[in-house]
Amino acid sequence: MSNPIDSGISEPSPDAELIGLEMLPLDIIMLIVALLDIQDIYRLRQCSKHLAFLLSSHPVWHAALQKHIGAYKPIVPLSTPSLELATHDMGRAIERSAHLSRAWTATRPKRINLAQFAPPPAPNGHERKPLRLELLRHGGRSYALVGYYTSGRFEDAGRHVLYCLDLGATQPGPSEAVPSTSLRVCARMDLPQVVHVTSNEAPGDAPFVVGHIEHPDTDEVAFKAYLLDFAPSATSTLDEETELPVFGLRKIRSFATKGPPLLYSGHILVAGDKKGFLWVYDTRSGDLIYELEGGNPEANETARVMLREDILVVLGYACIRVFTFPQPLQRSPDNPQEFSGPLNFSTDEPEVLKPTVTHPWRWGLEMLAAAPLVHAHASGHTRSRPQINLFVRFRSWYPWPINMLHHYVLSPGPDGMYATAPSLRLYTYSALDLFSVSDAALGQHGTALWTDTYNSDPRAPGGQRVAGKILRPAPGDQELEQTVESLNDVQQTQSELNPSIDRYDKGTTMVFDVRRSAEVCKLAMDEEAGRVVVGLTNGNVEVWDYMPDTY
């Protein structure tokens, strides 16, 4: 009997029916597509005309967009929801997103364009320094909101100034990718006190809110919140309340608050103070809905708040708190981030709420950046209770070297509450000289951006770099991460660093910029546009674009 191995590959019988990939139904094709990456799908399309037809269908490209791009890479801004995109536009979005991801996550990302803004000189030779930096998308365009502090007396007009810089269209095409060197000021507002600015996370009354101290000389500090929109014509007027000039802005309404604005989403404004107290307002009426107790004798200034219809997650420098609303807020079915006040709530005596969950930090924080790991194209369940990325630097009494950045993840439990303490995922070496300027920003697609001390010449003092890291698991590590999350929930204890996932980002650190001195003091970014915006100590603002102009 002959050996089957020696006989070679047997020829199929003439009567046998062979089923090629072209003959498979679309649902089987979809299962195969789920196992392929984008490049494999492109190669498979070139095998035959029938495969090219099947793999060019709308369901195939939508599945590829959700699985290979939306799950792990920033999706470039889309004019319509992904399901409503035409097949050609969906394929183009996938191609652009893949190009952007490669450019954004390179070890030294290549800067395509650099634009700058230098504020006009302040009165009496004083200096202007950026205190607030916020990015905004509104009406198909992108803006940078910069709040400046001006040294000098309170009587000086224009002591604090808000500038709105036009960054261009939200969806630039190749024909528009023309390098520019200066940014256009589309709006300006002078205020007598420190400017707090927060952009609206969803369509609502106004695209952004500005707050400032109304009566600084009184014992009880009172703030004023201004809901602002861009004026149809670039005209300059005097604000009737501050009697200071306003250019290119239209005030929708204003009302008094007990603290500066921390979050603005739809028709809900959350304000807070340095002691950890917070207040939830209805922006349509200015009524106070809920008052949230500080609950900590020490100062617990709030760095960031995350709002859902039934809870508020408060991320502070001393502890993390979760508040549960007795009456849930209303949420728009068309936009999950557009909130409004609860039905039939009483404004006579606003209810004072105590935290449902508290997670104290073992050591105080020097820096905290946070963002939910959810984006505009995520599923409804993910939006309701997302994982929250925390990027922190502890203060000097932290027992380990302070030249470390720590990535924690706050995850919801089976009941939907964030009852388990945040788990430590990885730490990154980040040298920082004492008393040096430092800032950080975190995106909803998992990009962390920070400044630290760096100089290629160890003999030279100082130096600064703007670096970044992707704080999300690689596709192959997702199941392992979920297993570790389940173990953490069962143990009900704060997780330690797990060596199997502590380097899930493969150790890649992106270096966006290196400078001789510590000039960068404020950071902001738009992952989907491939853009970094920095504020400098001399008052200038720089915009770095990394979206390739050929795709």
Average pLDDT over residues 235-241: 79
User: Which pLDDT value is given to residue 513?
Assistant: 93
- Across 48-52, 53-57, 317-321, 493-497, the highest mean pLDDT is recorded for 317-321
Residue pLDDT, tens place only, 77-87 = 666 666 677 77
Assign 417 a pLDDT band (cuts: 50, 70, 90): confident
Q: Is 504 helix (H, G, I), strand (E, B) or coil?
A: coil
Token pair listed for 175: 């024909």
Q: Across the chain, which distance is largest between two alpha carbons, in Å?
A: 106
Of residues 391 and 75, more confidently modeled: 391
| Whether residue 177 has pLDDT greater than 70 | no
The percent of residues above 90 in pLDDT, for the chain, comes to: 29
Q: Flag the least confident range among 9-13, 208-212, 354-358, 431-435.
A: 9-13
| Whether residue 421 has pLDDT greater than 90 | yes
User: Which pLDDT value is given to residue 40?
Assistant: 76
Residue pLDDT, tens place only, 216-227 = 555 667 889 999
CATH architecture designation of domain 21-104:
Up-down Bundle (1.20)
User: Which pLDDT value is given to residue 63?
Assistant: 74
Of residues 252 and 70, more confidently modeled: 252
Average pLDDT over residues 64-72: 65
Of residues 343 and 210, more confidently modeled: 210
Name the residue among 162, 180, 134, 211 with its Cα closest to residue 522.
Answer: 134
Of residues 493 and 521, more confidently modeled: 521
| Whether residue 176 has pLDDT greater than 50 | no
Average pLDDT over residues 314-326: 93
Residue that is written with structure tokens 């809110």 in the block? 209
Assign 90 a pLDDT band (cuts: 50, 70, 90): confident
- Across 27-31, 245-249, 372-376, the highest mean pLDDT is recorded for 245-249
Distance CA(94)–CA(108), nearest Å, equals: 23
| Whether residue 125 has pLDDT greater than 90 | no
Token pair listed for 123: 């009165």
Assign 512 a pLDDT band (cuts: 50, 70, 90): very high
Strands, E assignment, 45-119: 113-117
Q: Is 10 helix (H, G, I), strand (E, B) or coil?
A: coil
Distance CA(177)–CA(187), nearest Å, equals: 24
Name the residue among 309, 316, 294, 418 with its Cα closest to residue 357.
Answer: 418
Name the residue among 79, 137, 89, 61 with its Cα closest to residue 70.
Answer: 61
Helix H or strand E segment including 141:
strand 141-150
All CATH 1.20.1280 domain ranges of the chain, comma separated, are 21-104
Average pLDDT over residues 225-254: 86
Average pLDDT over residues 419-448: 84
User: Which pLDDT value is given to residue 505?
Assistant: 42
Residue that is written with structure tokens 């209770």 in the block? 385
Token pair listed for 157: 């007009």
| Whether residue 18 has pLDDT greater than 70 | no
Neighbours of 162 (CB within 10 A): 25
| Whether residue 54 has pLDDT greater than 60 | yes
144 neighbors 207 (Cβ within 8 angstroms): no
Name the residue among 131, 187, 191 with its Cα closest to residue 524.
Answer: 131
User: Which pLDDT value is given to residue 376?
Assistant: 61
